[in-house]
Amino acid sequence: MARGSAAPVWFSYLLLTLAFAACAKSPESNELEDGTIYAVSEAYDVYAALFPKELFSKGDYRPVILRETVVPPSHMRIRECRSRSDFLPHWSLVGDFEKANRETRLLASGRLRLNGSAYDLVSRGELDQIFVGRSWDDFYHRFPKSRGYYEVSAVGFNWGKTEALVYRENVCGPLCGRGDYHYFEKLNGNWQEVFDQVGIPGHMLI
């Protein structure tokens, strides 16, 4: 009788264990599925390299960065640019970039560290409020140390996470702006932009 009553308890524990395992997800798989915060930790290291210390050397520069990630415009999709460039990233890098940018995410302010330099992280809604019925003068009045605002895409990685690809736009006025892809390699544990291997045409935002 005792053995017979123990079986349901053991079976219940087994079911709970299996259910827990089925619902549990690794941190990596969760990072692009929460629908809100962009939580890929390695991506923030790439963002830090995307805004190098040299940008802040004068001490009077404080970039404005849009909190929502940007999806590259259709004519700048990476597969089309790849066909017009000598730069041939591995297909795992291209595929991961496209997957990461199927929809926009929100940058986590606490994880975005630009080499210890100050910046302003603003939402699309905040920008819209500045520009509705106003001008760029109002923007620069609020952010006098900025050079317009930046938008960044989610970051694509190759299988080994030794290469990274990110798209960045800088909008600085009604007829001022540019968007480019930036290719990085992880060298000696640090992300470094490889200028001589990119070759992907940028585009003016006018």
Provide the mean pLDDT of the chain. Answer: 76
Query: Residue 42 and residue 51: Cα distance in Å, rounded?
Result: 15
Count of CB atoms within 10 A of residue 58's CB?
A: 8
pLDDT by residue (tens digit) across 19-46?
A: 433 333 333 433 444 448 999 999 999 9
Query: Can you tell me the mean pLDDT for 47-56?
Result: 82
Q: Residue 97 pLDDT > 80, yes or no?
A: yes
Q: What is the per-residue pLDDT for 94?
A: 84
Q: What is the per-residue pLDDT for 24?
A: 36
pLDDT by residue (tens digit) across 167-193?
A: 999 999 988 888 888 999 999 999 999
Q: Poorest-confidence range of 44-53, 76-85, 91-100?
A: 76-85
Kindly report the pTM of this predicted structure. 0.74
